[in-house]
Amino acid sequence: MESVKHFVCGLLLFWFLCVSGVKQKGSPFCGFPAIYNFGDSNSDTGGISAAFEPISGPYGQSFFHKPSGRDSDGRLIIDFIAEKLKLPYLSAYLNSLGTNYRHGANFATGGSTIRRQNETIFEYGISPFSLDMQIVQFDQFKARSIELYKQAKNPSERSKLPVPEEFSKALYTFDIGQNDLSVGFRKMSFDQLRAAMPDIINQLATAVRHLYEQGGRAFWIHNTGPIGCLPVNLFYKHNLPAGYLDQYGCVKDQNEMAIEFNRQLKNRVIKLRAELPQASITYVDVYAAKYGLISKAKNEGFADPLKICCGYHVDDTHIWCGKKAKVNGKDVYGGSCEGPLKYVMWDGVHYAEAANKWVADRTLNGSLSDPPIPITQACYRH
C-alpha cells in the first residue's frame, strides 16, 4: 500500500512539473519592445560619465575600442540582456548627445545606492542618483516622452522616442545594492548593517511597486554579487587572521553579509508577487553565478580571479585603472594587461567583459532564477 502511495504521489508530481513547464517551453518569446534599467556601475552605460568626469581609456578597449561610459573593458550584463532580447544597447538617461530611447533608457549610474546617502561623489564615489532619484527621473522621462510623442508631426520625429503604450510591455531591470553594502562596511558594524537591511530592501520594493502602479508588469531583479571577492577589498590588507578569507581568497564576513542581503531580498520579492497580482517578478541569483566563476576560474580558462587586469598594484601602492601617479619618483600609468579576455576582474571593483558574458550566459537562460524562466519569457507570471 505504501509503495502504491509513493507511485501515485510521484505520478502527481510528474504531472504537476509537466503542466507547470508548459508555459515556459510552449510560450512564445515575450518580445519586449524596451528595457528600463535601474542600478549602479554594474549596469551603467554612460550615466555617471555624462553627469561628471567621463570615464577614460583603457575602459572600453576590448569591445567598443574606446571609452563607452562603462566601468569595464567592454560590455556589461545589461548589454548582453539587450542582445538576448534583440534590442539596441541602452542609452543613458543623463546622456544628452547621441541618444535613442525608442527601445528603453538606462537610469543606472556608477556609485548609486538604494538608500540615499549623505555624501558627495567627490568623497567616496557615491552617486547622488540613488534609486529613489532614478525613479523620479523615470517618471519625468515617461511623462515628457509621451508629451513629445503626441506633439510629433511625422514618423521621423517619433523614431527616437518610446511608443507610449509600450511602457506597460517593457522589461524593468534592477541591479543595485552592492554600494549599500560597501557604505555599510565603511560606516556601520555588521550588526548595524544587518539591522538596516529590511529598510534598504523595502526601498527597492517601493520602487518596484511604483513602476507597477505606472503600468510596468515584467521585472528582472538581480541580487548582489560576492562583494568580498572584489580585489579592492584586499589591496591594503596584510597579515590577515585565520578565517578572514575563505578558500578562494574572498573576505568571508563580507560575503556572508551579501548572502544575508540576498536572502532578505528574495523573501521580499516573494511577498511582492502576492502584493502585485499582475506582475511577473523574476529574482536572479547573480551571486551564485559570480561566485561560481571565481571558484572555478582557472578551470574555465580564466586567470587568477582576484588579480586585476587594469591598474597598477604593488605592495601598498595602487594606481587606479587609466590614471597616472609617481612611484619612487617615476611616473607610473595604471594601464591594461595584455590579455583582458582571460580576466575575471577588470579594475578591482568591476568585472571584465569576458566575465560579464560568462555570468550572462548562466543567468539569462533561467537556470539561476526564481522562477526558473529565461529572460525571453520573463513576461509570464508563474
Catalytically annotated residues:
41, 347, 350
CA separation for the pair 208, 262 (Å, rounded): 16
| Contact of 266 with 370, CB cutoff 8 Å | yes
Sheet containing strand 369-370, strands side by side = 104-106, 35-39, 171-175, 218-222, 280-284, 369-370
**C-alpha atoms less than 13 angstroms from C-alpha of 255 in its C-beta half-sphere:** 19
CA separation for the pair 180, 182 (Å, rounded): 6
DSSP 3-state assignment of 333? strand
Cell numbers standing for residue 342: 582571460
CA separation for the pair 220, 199 (Å, rounded): 21
CA separation for the pair 305, 55 (Å, rounded): 24
Sequential DSSP letters for 272-302: HHHHSTT-EEEEE-HHHHHHHHHHTTGGGT-
Question: Among residues 207, 195, 168, which one has the least CA distance to residue 38?
Answer: 207
| Contact of 50 with 93, CB cutoff 8 Å | no
Which H or E run contains 84?
helix 77-84
Cell numbers standing for residue 33: 519592445
